[in-house]
């Protein structure tokens, strides 16, 4: 059984990005610049954005954090987004979700210029992904694809079962894996909470993507010998022995499933570290205007 080490791979890719940023600097080019908008003081969101800013620093990408009070109006945020769209010094930006209840996330995402939408959440980018056109692919699906690519996992002709149909993971990864591409050409079954006989389907899978957000949902009896299992779950469960007071649990019952697999991602240290890398790659893409 091969452990798909997302942490190690992410560190390798970080070095490659750092080298490329250094070359841009040496050539006198503009240093890529990411902005992150955060509204309010949600602990989880502040931690995530903190990781993103730190990763930028590590590779030499400039970052600006725009933090606004929980009480700001929707109109105020929409105006700030327009300013970022028009600011030529900013190559790409993200608006951290969730937003406070009085701000409509759909309105906010629609206001972002798709050329600067390094999260890949704008419908224009989602649509381009569906059509196989150059686009910003959102962080988690892109991280999974990079993991598959670097570990040379064969997807062509394979039966891939995706469990979970969210807009940010399940649906886009099902499209990428079925697309005509080096890391695609799979036959994909997209399963969700209303799927009948889920176990029958997962037992047929050569590759399983577990992205439903239910800790330890995928058990050993649901997986065939030799399958590749990619665990996207990151549920925080209370843990008094840990300094933070919680620990991350994946969607896969690792101890049961791992012995049956040809390859599997751990949680933590699998898909998670690859998602931040994707944001860095998208920021680099934005600075080179590859999606314009």
Q: Which residues are catalytic?
A: 52, 96, 119
Bridge pairing between strands 33-39 and 62-68: parallel
Minimum Å distance from CB 120 to ligand GUN? 9
Q: Which stretch binds ligand GUN (CB under 6 A): 8-16, 21-29, 73-81, 91-99?
A: 91-99
Beta-carbon count within 10 A of 127 CB: 12
Minimum Å distance from CB 106 to ligand GUN? 13
b or e along 247-286 (b: 16 or more beta carbons within 10 Å of the residue's beta carbon)? ebbbbbbbeebbebbebbbbbebbbbbbbbbbbbbbbbbb
Q: Which stretch binds ligand GUN (CB under 6 A): 63-71, 89-97, 157-165, 172-180?
A: 89-97
Q: How far is CA 28 from the centre of its chain?
A: 31
Q: Which stretch binds ligand GUN (CB under 6 A): 67-75, 93-101, 175-183, 264-272?
A: 93-101
Which of 6, 56, 77, 96 lies at the binding interface for ligand GUN (CB under 6 A)?
Answer: 96
Q: Which stretch binds ligand GUN (CB under 6 A): 11-19, 92-100, 227-235, 250-258?
A: 92-100
Outline where the chain has alpha helix (H). 6-26, 43-59, 74-86, 105-111, 123-131, 139-150, 170-178, 198-202, 254-257, 271-287
Question: Which of 42, 58 has the CB closer to ligand GUN?
Answer: 42
Question: Which residues sit opposite 231 in a β-bridge?
Answer: 210
Instruction: Show Cβ contacts of residue 29 under 8 Å, excluding neighbours closer than 6 positions.
Output: none
Question: Which of 29, 105 has the CB closer to ligand GUN?
Answer: 105
Question: Which of 90, 153 has the CB closer to ligand GUN?
Answer: 90
Q: State the burial class of residue 237 (Cβ atoms within 10 Å of its Cβ: 0-12, 13-18, 19+).
A: exposed
Contact mark string toward ligand GUN, 100..139, x via CB under 6 A: -------------------x-------------------x
Contact mark string toward ligand GUN, 47..86, x via CB under 6 A: -x--------------------------------------
Q: What is the DSSP letter of 252?
A: B
Determine if 97 is a binding residue for ligand GUN (CB under 6 A).
yes
CA distance 80 to 193: 38
Question: Which of 119, 231 has the CB closer to ligand GUN?
Answer: 119
DSSP string, 182-238: TT---EEEEE-TT-TTHHHHHTT-SEEEE-S--TT-B-GGGS-TT-EEEE---EEEE
Question: Which of 3, 78 has the CB closer to ligand GUN?
Answer: 78
The footprint of ligand GUN on this chain (CB under 6 A) covers a number of residues equal to: 7
Minimum Å distance from CB 59 to ligand GUN? 18
Minimum Å distance from CB 141 to ligand GUN? 11
Footprint of ligand GUN (CB under 6 A): 48, 94-97, 119, 139
């Amino acid at each position: 059984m091969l452990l798909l080490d997302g942490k190690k791979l992410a560190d390798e890719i970080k070095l490659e990005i750092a080298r490329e940023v250094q070359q841009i600097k040496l050539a006198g080019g503009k240093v890529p610049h990411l902005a992150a908008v955060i509204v309010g003081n949600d602990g989880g969101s502040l931690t995530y954005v903190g990781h993103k800013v730190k990763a930028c620093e590590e590779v030499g990408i400039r970052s600006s954090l725009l933090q606004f009070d929980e009480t700001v109006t929707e109109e105020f945020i929409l105006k700030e987004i327009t300013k970022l769209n028009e600011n030529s010094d900013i190559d790409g930006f993200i608006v951290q979700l969730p937003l406070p209840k009085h701000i409509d996330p759909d309105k906010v995402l629609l206001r972002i210029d798709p050329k600067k939408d390094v999260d890949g959440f704008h419908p224009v980018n989602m649509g381009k992904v569906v059509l196989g056109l150059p686009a910003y692919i959102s962080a988690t699906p892109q991280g999974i694809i990079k993991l598959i690519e670097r570990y040379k996992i064969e997807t062509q002709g394979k039966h891939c079962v995706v469990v979970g149909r969210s807009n940010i993971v399940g649906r886009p990864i099902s499209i990428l894996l079925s697309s005509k591409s080096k890391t695609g050409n799979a036959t994909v079954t997209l399963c969700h909470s209303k799927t009948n006989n889920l176990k029958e389907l997962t037992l047929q899978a050569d590759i399983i993507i577990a992205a439903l957000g239910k800790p330890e949902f995928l058990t050993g009896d649901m997986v065939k010998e030799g399958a590749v299992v990619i665990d996207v779950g990151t549920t925080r469960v209370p843990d008094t022995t840990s300094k933070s007071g919680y620990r991350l649990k994946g969607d896969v019952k690792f101890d049961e499933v791992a012995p049956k697999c040809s390859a599997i991602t751990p949680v933590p240290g699998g898909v998670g570290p690859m998602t931040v890398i994707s944001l860095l790659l998208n920021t680099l893409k934005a600075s080179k205007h590859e999606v314009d």
